[in-house]
Structure 1
Amino acid sequence: MGNSSPKPVQAPRIAMDKNKAVVIIGGGPAGVHMASQLAKRGYTNVTLLEASADLGGKSRTTIDKDGLPHDMGTCYLSNRYGPIRELLAEYDPDNAEVELTNEMVFGGLQRDGDDKDYTNGVSLQDVYLEKAEEASAIPPACWPICPDFLSLPGLVSASVKYIGLHKKLLGSYDYGMPPRPSDFAAVDMTAMEFLTKHKLLAMVGLLRYSLQLQGYGVLETVPALYMLWWVHPNLLLGALGDETEGVTMLSKGYQSLWRSMAQAHSAKVKFMTGARVTRIIRGDTPSVSFVNADGTAGFLAFDKLIMAVDMSRMAGLVDDLTPAEKDMFSGYSDGLVYCSTLYESDNRPVEFTSSLWMDRMLPDVERDGNADGGRVHLIRNFRVINGIDNVDKLRERRVAFQYLERGLKDGDDAILLQLLEQGLAEAGDTNVVVLEQNPWPYMPRFTNAGLRQGGPWRVLASQGANNTLWIGSSVCFESVLDVVGYNNRLLASFVD
């Protein structure tokens, strides 16, 4: 069995009826996208319920007092984001892409114990090659003066080997949900264990940036399969060819796209924000109970239910989960927290696109004083990235990011705020004013045990059973590319 090829990922045929009542729970990218596609296909009775006051979920964009957008969650597009670009062209054509070039520079500390001040910044390639130096035979004393040609071959060689392993374990397929490995033992480990086992440590810098800094988990704890899922050979080939080729941001921010999609279909889809679902029953008389923002109770009957929420935390909303469904959703980890905070402080002498401390994402009890982490590991300046002049010459607004290696708990706002203040002081920021804090429950994922039992592939195979569809990041991967691609896969299987 270990030598057999993985089976291609296929969704089952899903019976749908364009005139039946469809209720979508969750107004993030997955829910809004599915609602818009149902409207385009001629569905006549679609309602979307979103607990918060706005649509877009973790694709949140905050517009500051000068009109500058700050993406607080989803922010980038890469050369493989074709499905997202198609949506932008159709729904939000004025939301132009802002190209990021090789001149994109980073400040801050690269190695956590290195107190060097990168006054002139470093390129993204420098970030990649620094870890390649550590994995090489180059003496540590020579790292600061090591020319690229000494460490680059190690990174390229490791990447080529990774691509070969990827194809051997998962076969050849376009980016998206990977086939279920025929030999799961080959990936039944953490990402770092996989890299160590296959002598791929020269890739650590590239992977800490492309996987870890995007909030998808630290290499030391995230299952290797999720690394293989996100770091598809196409991504790696693009990074090796030109580390920022095709990488862009949106001039109006990501949330503008989801709002535009909802507006375009508002005549055919009832989008209800501030509607917190409290109970779902799918039996003989299927219904959803919810509470509106004003405290009044709501009730909806439905024929088809689409759950576009985090099933690792919200499976309990469905009263009558079957034993098979309960078992299917029992394999999740406790989750993690990725917190984004918009703040204002005095100008610095030098402003970079980003300041990053990649090693701080891995919790260290002796260093951090706790087992969860939470130190500031990234500060991003969207004004510099977008090439916009600072209107206020004395003050600057930036977004800081923090990571907790556990699920969200009551009281985390205060814990993260205290760690934020410490981190910004260490970064040299003065007279800090916090404008907005978003502690996101992020990257819902199956444990290796849950993956071993077939977690995401079992969910896909169950689509349509009990008149229910399961969509969103918790059943695939925490990226808008994945949730849109997953929806498109299901839509292609509709019999309507």
Structure 2
Amino acid sequence: MSSKSYIQIPRTSRFAIVGAGPAGVHFAHLLAKQGFNNITVLEADDHVGGKSFTVTEGNIPYDMGTVLLTTSTYGPVFDLLENEDPENKPVPFPDSPKKNYCVIMGSSQTGVSDKDNKTFTDRRVWSLKQTMLDSVPAFLRPITPLMFPGIKILLAARRYRALHEKIFGGKFKYGMPPSPPSDWSLLNMTALQFLEKHRLKALIAMFRISVQLNGYGVLESIPAFYAIWWMHPDLVDQSCRAHLQKKPILFGTSKGFQHLWETIAAKLSVEKGVKFLVNAPVSKVTRHPDSTATVEYTQNGILGNLDVDYVVMAVDLSKYVNIIPKLTSVESKLFTTQYTSSVYASTLYKSDPGPFEFPMEMFPDRMTPIAKFDESAGNFGHCHTYRNARLMLRPRPDKGNVTWGPDALGRQQRVAYQFLDRPLQDAVIEAKNFTQKLRGDFEIAGHSNVEIKVQKTWNYFPRFTQQGLIEEIPWKIKEIQGDTNTFWLGSSLTISNL
């Protein structure tokens, strides 16, 4: 399959970029670097950055969307931070390799009750115990030392790399695979089925944390393609080395991820004349026979029209492709038949301290795979992770295994994360349901006198169905980039905007 590697566009061309999330801002940045000087970015929200949304209090950034970077997969973002936002330093989470930095709660398989807020398991210990359950026969478990699952993980990581290269025809840097798999029979299954089929059960616990608890689908239902795209072999190897070397691989930023995109946008406005229109939802894009287009939008109650030569759709295409009413037959087949997504909620709240305070508390069992969700399902939208940004960014002051000293005393501010494995329906109703579940989860966690400060509910991880992948839609979209003077980007086409 071929795709365009170079498209000739006159530098005087007028661009409208719909969406000022990371994809839209970065595309404007790349255009400006190439000498284009007539660029307008339109954003429906009141800020740039999209899901890279940060609330800063007391010099501590509480990232509600983008939270973590790893050096093996986010090299370009580290470069942007260094070159475009140098005051916003990558900050390694100092205690992340140490015991009880991240703990597992409510994991019944490893002996922790969901309603027990005083019993926890260090994430690394949980991973070994879970790997024991996933990959060691029951009759051998009583006589198997806990270090043995660690060896199985290392061996599985080697097999995984070899299989990954076989599926995609060789090595490639993290990002969208440059070409589709040559044999879809190796991938025409869920992520869990893939790990089981290919003797990779020792990696299930790692995938639960890195794929599932990041909101990129439940292993029992997400297509294997997305799981192995996200879990690049370099990331798997780096995770293994980090456990052995006890070095942090997770980074936040000193000013939050939204700060990066705001800084780039501000520089583009001042230095390159790029126009950013916020609170400006686009209602319609009309593409004319002469290869120009008119973008209709509303800003502060005033209707506006923007005549351009190229339109860049940097929005969630599973929801907003219909702002172009006349799609070509090819576009219609690619963008309207095989999309799905999930729902993700992030809630910033303050409460009295719980029985223990940790930087991260995770409940992997709460993302129970249910084929058809409904509001009566017991695991409908429960909180699966609590994150305390203040503790994440500060080293423990003592040498103990649990406490964070004075930082763990007094009122605590955290972000709670909830997930549903189906597309967003009504944002207001979804937020109400999430909040109702969350109140019960706070009570179980022992978080009292709760003050909810900010809540974001997103249509999350827009993606193609298994059938859409088999039809090779992501690569076909690469082939039509620039056709009808339209470009398509963002998380709808790549597993993450970053």
TM-superposed CA distance for 1:183, in Å, is 1.1
8 Å contact from structure 1 (residues 29, 59) kept in 2: yes
8 Å contact from structure 1 (residues 26, 308) kept in 2: yes
Correspondent of 1:88 among 61, 67, 81: 81
8 Å contact from structure 2 (residues 104, 364) kept in 1: no
State the partner residue of 2:173. Answer: 174
% same residue: 36
State the partner residue of 2:436. Answer: 418
How far, CA to CA, are the matches of 2:341 and 2:258 in structure 1? 24
TM-superposed CA distance for 1:248, in Å, is 0.8
How far, CA to CA, are the matches of 1:343 and 1:333 in structure 2? 33
State the partner residue of 1:115. Answer: 112
SS at match of 1:43: coil
State the partner residue of 1:265. Answer: 268
How far, CA to CA, are the matches of 1:313 and 1:367 in structure 2? 21
Gaps of 5+ in 2: 396-404
* Structure 2 residue 372 is matched with structure 1 residue 374: no
Q: 1:375 to 1:107 in 2, by over 3 A?
A: same
SS at match of 1:473: coil
TM-superposed CA distance for 1:424, in Å, is 1.3
Q: 1:142 to 1:168 in 2, by over 3 A?
A: closer
State the partner residue of 2:480. Answer: 462
Correspondent of 2:307 among 296, 301, 306: 301
Correspondent of 1:398 among 414, 419, 423: 414
State the partner residue of 1:3. Answer: none
* Structure 2 residue 381 is matched with structure 1 residue 383: no
Give the residue type in structure 2 aligned to 1:428. G
State the partner residue of 1:44. Answer: 37
8 Å contact from structure 1 (residues 134, 202) kept in 2: no
How far, CA to CA, are the matches of 1:77 and 1:120 in structure 2? 29
TM-superposed CA distance for 1:13, in Å, is 2.4
SS at match of 1:275: coil
SS at match of 2:215: helix
How far, CA to CA, are the matches of 1:236 and 1:24 in structure 2? 35
SS at match of 2:252: strand
8 Å contact from structure 1 (residues 376, 400) kept in 2: yes
State the partner residue of 2:154. Answer: 156
SS at match of 1:55: coil
How far, CA to CA, are the matches of 1:341 and 1:141 in structure 2? 43
State the partner residue of 2:449. Answer: 431
How far, CA to CA, are the matches of 1:62 and 1:112 in structure 2? 34
SS at match of 2:105: coil
Q: 1:281 to 1:396 in 2, by over 3 A?
A: same
8 Å contact from structure 1 (residues 363, 370) kept in 2: no
Q: 1:112 to 1:279 in 2, by over 3 A?
A: farther
State the partner residue of 2:344. Answer: 338
* Equivalences for residues 111-150 of structure 1 within 5 A: 111-112=107-108, 114-115=111-112, 122-137=121-136, 139=138, 147-150=145-148
* Structure 2 residue 327 is matched with structure 1 residue 321: yes
Give the residue type in structure 2 aligned to 1:382. A
Q: 1:439 to 1:146 in 2, by over 3 A?
A: farther
Gaps of 5+ in 1: 1-6, 481-496
8 Å contact from structure 2 (residues 78, 90) kept in 1: no
State the partner residue of 1:485. Answer: none
SS at match of 2:69: coil
Correspondent of 2:97 among 94, 102, 111: 102
How far, CA to CA, are the matches of 1:366 and 1:466 in structure 2? 39
TM-superposed CA distance for 1:124, in Å, is 3.8
How far, CA to CA, are the matches of 1:136 and 1:204 in structure 2? 9
State the partner residue of 1:483. Answer: none
TM-superposed CA distance for 1:11, in Å, is 3.7
TM-superposed CA distance for 1:62, in Å, is 0.7
8 Å contact from structure 1 (residues 333, 444) kept in 2: yes
State the partner residue of 1:356. Answer: 362
TM-superposed CA distance for 1:136, in Å, is 3.1
Give the residue type in structure 1 aligned to 2:361. S
* Structure 2 residue 225 is matched with structure 1 residue 241: no
8 Å contact from structure 1 (residues 363, 373) kept in 2: no
TM-superposed CA distance for 1:99, in Å, is 1.2
State the partner residue of 1:280. Answer: 285
Q: 1:392 to 1:199 in 2, by over 3 A?
A: closer
Number of matched residues?
470
SS at match of 1:460: helix
How far, CA to CA, are the matches of 2:9 and 2:220 in structure 1? 43
SS at match of 1:321: coil
SS at match of 2:129: helix
CA-based RMSD of the aligned residues comes to 2.4
Give the residue type in structure 2 aligned to 1:377. H
* Structure 2 residue 21 is matched with structure 1 residue 14: no
Q: 1:458 to 1:390 in 2, by over 3 A?
A: farther
Q: TM-score, normalised by structure 1?
A: 0.89
Q: 1:110 to 1:169 in 2, by over 3 A?
A: farther
State the partner residue of 2:298. Answer: 291
Q: 1:185 to 1:331 in 2, by over 3 A?
A: farther
